[in-house]
Structure formats: C-alpha cells, structure tokens
Amino acid sequence: MAGSTASPSNARYEHHHRDFSELAARLERDGCTADALVEAVLEFQVALPTWAFNTGGTRFGRFPIAGEPRTLHEKMEDAAQVNTLTAAAPRISLHIPWDETDDVAAVRADAARLGLGFDAVNSNTFQDQAGQPLSYKLGSFSNPSAAVRRQAIAHHRHVIEAGNALGADAITVWLADGSNYPGQMSLRGSFERVRECLQDVYAAMPPHWRLFTEHKPYEPAFYATVVQDWGSSLLLAQSLGDRAQCLVDLGHHLPNTNIELVVARLIGAGRLGGFHFNDSKYGDDDLTAGSIKPYALFLIFHELVLAQREGAAGFNPAYMIDQSHNLKDPIEAMLQTVDQLQQAYAKACLVQHAVLSGFQDSGDVIMAERTLKRAFEADVRPLVAEARRRRGGAIDPVGAFRESGYRARVAAERAG
C-alpha cells in the first residue's frame, strides 16, 4: 500500500492510529475484520462532475470565488485535488458542450498526467446554444417539430463521439422536456417521441456503451415532465435494449419519496445504471450528499452493497455526483461529499446481511431494524480515514486541502 506522501498533514493526526485501533477492536467483537472493511471501502469510487467545480447559482444570482476554473484543464486540476485527497474519485463526468474540446489528444494526455479517467458524458438540450438553428423552448426529443428532434439527436451523436474519443463508455440523458400547462402538449405523444429519438441515440452508441435515462418530477417543466419518474425511465430503458439503464438522481424525487425502494426496484429489474448523489430538503436542491438525510443515504447504500454482495444480475452502477455549490468552496464541498459517501458505504458494509435476513424471516421487527441501525450508528470515520491513508490520501481531506494553500495559489494563477 502507498504511504502518505500525498498528504503531509497526516503526520499531525497522531490520534488517528489510536482511534482506528479502538474501532478495529470494537468491530472484531462484532465479528468483522477491520482490514477487510478497509479493503471494502477502497473499492468504492465516485465520479466528479466538471460543472460542480465552479460556484453554482440560482436564478437569483451567483457569488463567484477567486480561483474558479476557467477551462476544462483547470477543472481537471481541481478534480485531481479531490482524487488525491480522497483516493476515491479517479474519474470525471463531462458535460457537452460546456466541456467541448477540439484537442482530444491534449485532454487525454492531461487526464492521464493528473491520474483521471472519464465516466459517463452528459448531453445538453435543456438550453439553446449560441448559433444553434432551432430552439428547444418547447422541448427537444418531445418537440412536435421533427426538425428540432433531428437536431437534438445530432447533438447526442456528437456527445457520444466526443465521449468515445476520450475513453468514456456511457451517456447520461436528462431531458428538461415537458409542459408547464395542461393542454400544452400530448402526454402520450410526447413520451412516444422521446422513446423514438432515444432509439436513434441508442443505435448510435458503440457496442460497449451504456445509455442512462435520468428522471425528474418537475422543473423546468412545472406541469408534466416527460420522463417524470422511475417508472417512465424504466419503460424507456426496457424498450431500448439491454444497454439502457436508469440513473437515479437523489434530488429528482418528490418530498418523502422512498428512494431506497426505487433503487431496490431498479436493481430487481436489472436496470439500475447509475447515481447522481446529492441531498435535498425540498426538491432538486443540489446540496452536499449526506447533509440533510444521512439515514436515507445509508439505506440507499445498504441496497447497493447488498446487491453487490449478492451479485445481482446487471448490477454495475456508475456512481457520480451532481451538486451545485452556491456557498461552499466547490473543491471543499466535493471533498466533504466524497467523505460522506465513503462513510455511508462503509456503514452499509457493516450490515450483517445473514443476521438481518434471519430476523426478516422470523418476523422480528425490532431486531431487524436494530441490525440496520447498529451499522448506521457506528462511527466509521477512523475506518474511511484509514482507507484513504493507505492509498496515499488524507486522513482529513478538507483540513489537508486548507493546509495545502491550493485555493490561494490558483486564485493568483487564474486571475482575470
């Protein structure tokens, strides 16, 4: 295992080894091996979205900070920081056209030098681009105009080509298509048009590629989004082919939706393609994963770890983050996010599946719930810190980042 050369700050956390030994002893009492759990945590990886390295904003405003990335190269530099400190984020998810490049070889070389690869690429037909002949104001794939639909398909072919040239192997399709008022569009006709367009996109993919359909209940369409829920997403995926799967964005659900149940259904259907992790209090808030509903995040990870252990058919989800950082330093927010995901994953790895299954079979409600709660309530911070440390990452990623002076350095370099 690698040393801790990447994070000189680790030396200051003398208490870490004691904390980890104490946790290891506690885990041993429960029949778990700490080293095996560290290894399990190291299996978890999540892709970083390039768009989240700039401060986000709302329709009311944006509050930029010094040193924000201006180019794909600078976004990759920031992503590499997150990967180095967390040892769990070696891929980025690009957005076309925001990350458009005419020098693929240079981007590939850059990525290789920074230790990054490419996860699913994202298309964009939710806004009009400069010089674009036809408008998506009334939808892209669902648009009543065949010419607009053809333009949207051509964009997706381009995104696939661009992604393939970089070494990505999946495309995430999130459509803003929908209507704001009853009567604005045919509810059945619009869905059928989306399905037909997606068939063309699916057919344009290289044979090793996957297509992810991402649902969302509302916004920007406030009456009826065409791909509104997981059922619509599943219908699309099933009608396209084996390499079409559903992507679950945690913020794309109505309040109180049982997302772990949605996840379980999609796993059961062999169609869980991936995740956009984030958190929310009300809607698509794009807050830091685990910041509002950590127990729900844990329950989702429980379904994921269970499916992984059971070797569920078709289970190979792409884990990605989709957040908007309006107030936090985006790099720090991403470090915090990856840490939260590592913790939720680690806790899910603590669940004793055979024990839980026994209580489910005997109908022991309290003990079944307690089996989950016991794992959730464990303090796994020393475990994930140890996992990061063994792979050359930071015991405390945010602390190490602040100590590194990276933000001040890029603020000077990226002025203007």
Name the residues that contact Mn ion, by CB under 5 A: 249, 276, 322
Q: What stretch of H or E contains 245?
A: strand 244-249
Instruction: For residues 258 and 299, give the distance between their C-alpha atoms in angstroms, rounded to a whole number.
Output: 10
Residue with smaller CB distance to Mn ion, 283 or 358: 283
CB of 218 to Mn ion, least distance (A): 14
Between the two ends of the chain, the Cα-to-Cα distance in Å is 41
Residue with smaller CB distance to Mn ion, 4 or 172: 172
CB of 286 to Mn ion, least distance (A): 9
Residue 15 structure tokens: 């208490």
> Residue by residue, what is the 3-state secondary structure of 90-144?
CEEECECCCCCCCCHHHHHHHHHHHCCEECCEECCCCCCCCCCCCCCCCCCCCCC
Q: What stretch of H or E contains 155?
A: helix 146-166
CB of 115 to Mn ion, least distance (A): 25
CB of 49 to Mn ion, least distance (A): 8
Q: Beta-carbon neighbour count of residue 331 at 10 Å? A: 28
CA distance readout (Å), 346 to 37, 117, 321, 369, 375: 7, 24, 18, 18, 9
Residue 321 structure tokens: 């983050």
CB of 48 to Mn ion, least distance (A): 13
Residue with smaller CB distance to Mn ion, 249 or 303: 249
Residue with smaller CB distance to Mn ion, 9 or 337: 337
Residue with smaller CB distance to Mn ion, 24 or 320: 320
Residues 6+ apart with CB under 8 A from 259: 248, 250, 253, 296, 300
CB of 267 to Mn ion, least distance (A): 19
Residue with smaller CB distance to Mn ion, 6 or 247: 247
CB of 93 to Mn ion, least distance (A): 10
3-state secondary structure of 321: strand
Residue with smaller CB distance to Mn ion, 49 or 382: 49
Residue 297 contacts residue 319 (beta carbons within 8 Å): no
